[in-house]
Amino acid sequence: MKKVLIIGAGGVGQVVAHKCAQLADVFPEIVLASRNEEKCKKIAAQLSRPIETAQVDADNVPELVALIRKVQPFMVINVALPYQDLTIMDACLETGVHYLDTANYEPLDTAKFEYSWQWAYQQRFRDAGLMALLGSGFDPGATNVFTAYIAKHYFDEIHYLDIIDVNGGDHGYPFATNFNPEINIREVTADCRHWENGEFVTTPPMSVKQSFTCPEGVGTFNIYRLYHEELESLTKNYPSLKRAQFWMSFGDSYLKHLEVLGNVGMTGIEPVEFQGQQIVPIQFLKQLLPDPASLGPRTKGRTCIGCVVRGIKDGKEKTVYLYNICDHQDCYKEVQSQAISYTTGVPAMIGAKMMMEGTWMQPGVWNIEQLDPDPFLADMNAYGLPWTVIEDPDFDLL
Ligand code: NDP
């Protein structure tokens, strides 16, 4: 009997627990652990079959090791925060357990994320005969797999990649973030980096935008170029790429609030002294904002996330767009979460399924585009995230 240990009981953890619970043959036993066990119990109560819950501080390696030894899982699905990636990887190595996450490691005190820290575990995972699958969410995650699938089936060589993440949903609040506010705000306020002619080029945050009309009537949105972690692994694994960019949609109200909050210092990550206490402004702000998990019932509309790839096939230039559209209300009906958590949690479950079933099982630390995209994409169709390919779409991008 293969057990899975899910760590993190936030918006994404809830979806992963639901989706794993739906597949009893692949995930016969599930343990959901988080800093606050009450949250795990609340999620457990929503599920169609019983799962175990546990309390753990994932910043603490000995605590993690003790829990993993007690549970004895086949693998850990890490859907806590990026700050915990390395401690959980350390605990997996110490206990001989496979590992999966959805976001790359970020130090708590520096708004900087990159794969170098996790790639440094390559030899240790290989030597231990263990697999670590990095970035099995939507972006990173499905977008990497989309790129791998397009490169495999449609091109001899890929040259230009644009990842476009549109959230056409509306939660009715003037300002709220769809996933962990601290991680979200750190991401969008960072300098933009995109890949061009063999190097990353830095531009000011949110300084380049264009209008994009999504297929299937999702709508027309302003999309802004920003840095996203999958650009680092995709440009390494596809060295033929001449340019790679990531675009995300933002509404005017979100941007106005973010600008004001930034101007008054509320998005800062340095502690400040307040009435005899040290507080980190962005953590205080997180406390004031709506809990992303509470947005589910209020969010209406659809997301549209996909990859536009231009390259060469049989000597001719062509373009391929592969995307998924996901409806916030449909997600809520199924797993009581909005589409942002859903589109992250389903690929996390599918990545774990690939490992549990042995479809993807190779020792070492892997970015998801390094594995065969075909079985993963077949499962996206089967488990709630169907996708569509358009060859030579009728739009032009910057
Ligand atoms: P939430 O903040 O909603 O949930 C995080 C969970 O982790 C909470 O239950 C939290 O506990 C728990 N946690 C935090 N610190 C610890 C700790 N030290 N020990 C144990 N548990 C801890 O975040 P989301 O669910 O929105 O996101 C989860 C992960 O998914 C993040 O890493 C995020 O970056 C990633 N993500 C990836 C995406 C992708 O497409 N690849 C998209 C969206 C998110 P508590 O409630 O006590 O704080």
Confidence at 28, pLDDT banded by 50, 70, 90: very high
Which atom of ligand 1 is nearest the CA belonging to 137? 41
Torsions phi, psi of 319, nearest 5?
Answer: -130, 140
Q: What mean pLDDT do residues 62-86 have?
A: 98
The tokens describing 106, both together, are 């970020």
Query: What span, in angstroms and rounded, lies between the C-alpha atoms of 395 and 182?
Result: 34
The tokens describing 326, both together, are 């996901």
Q: What is the pLDDT, as a whole number, of residue 26?
A: 98
Residue ranges covered by each domain of the chain: 142-335+387-391
Q: What is the pLDDT of residues 177-227, one digit of tens each?
A: 988 888 888 888 889 999 999 999 999 999 999 999 999 999 999 999 999
Q: Decide if pLDDT at 1 tops 80.
A: no
Instruction: Provide residues with CB under 6 Å of ligand 1.
Output: 8-13, 34-36, 39, 56-59, 79-82, 84, 102-103, 137-141, 179-180, 183, 292-293, 344
Give SS3 for 14.
helix
Reported as type and span, the H/E element at residue 149 is helix 142-154
Tell how far the Cα of 81 is from the centroid of ligand 1, in angstroms. Answer: 4
CB atoms within 10 A of CB 210: 15
State what percent of residues in the chain have pLDDT above 90: 91
Q: Decide if pLDDT at 396 tops 90.
A: no
Among candidate residues 42, 39, 41, 84, the one with its CA nearest the CA of residue 63: 84
What's the mean per-residue pLDDT of the chain?
Answer: 96
Question: Are 167 and 249 in contact, with CB atoms under 8 Å apart?
Answer: yes
Q: What mean pLDDT do residues 243-254 have?
A: 95
Instruction: Mark 313-331 as b/e (b = at least 16 C-beta within 10 Å).
Output: eeeeeebbbbbbbbbbbeb
Tell how far the Cα of 83 is from the centroid of ligand 1, in angstroms. Answer: 9
Q: What is the pLDDT, as a whole number, of residue 314?
A: 98
Measured CA angle at 139 (ends 129, 125), to 5 deg: 10
Q: What is the pLDDT, as a whole number, of residue 150?
A: 98
CB contact set of 136 (below 8 Å; sequence gap of 6+) = 100, 101, 102, 347, 348, 350, 351, 352, 368
Q: Decide if pLDDT at 111 tops 80.
A: no
Rounded to the nearest 5 percent, the helix, strand and coil shares of the chain are 40, 30, 35
Tell how far the Cα of 367 is from the centroid of ligand 1, in angstroms. Answer: 20
Question: Are 88 and 58 in contact, with CB atoms under 8 Å apart?
Answer: yes
Question: Are 118 and 134 in contact, with CB atoms under 8 Å apart?
Answer: yes
Which atom of ligand 1 is nearest the CA belonging to 81? 32
Tell how far the Cα of 293 is from the centroid of ligand 1, in angstroms. Answer: 11
185/231: higher pLDDT: 231
Q: What is the pLDDT of residues 151-175, one digit of tens each?
A: 999 999 999 999 999 999 999 999 9
86/180: higher pLDDT: 86
Which atom of ligand 1 is nearest the CA belonging to 56? 20
Eight-state DSSP code of residue 170 = B
Q: In CATH, what class is 142-335+387-391?
A: alpha beta
Tell how far the Cα of 61 is from the centroid of ligand 1, in angstroms. Answer: 17
Q: Decide if pLDDT at 247 tops 80.
A: yes
Q: Which amino acid is at 3?
A: K
Q: What mean pLDDT do residues 88-106 have?
A: 97
Which atom of ligand 1 is nearest the CA belonging to 182? 2
Q: What is the pLDDT of residues 290-326, one digit of tens each?
A: 988 788 899 999 999 999 999 999 999 999 999 999 9
Q: Decide if pLDDT at 279 tops 90.
A: yes
Q: Decide if pLDDT at 37 tops 80.
A: yes
Tell how far the Cα of 306 is from the centroid of ligand 1, in angstroms. Answer: 23
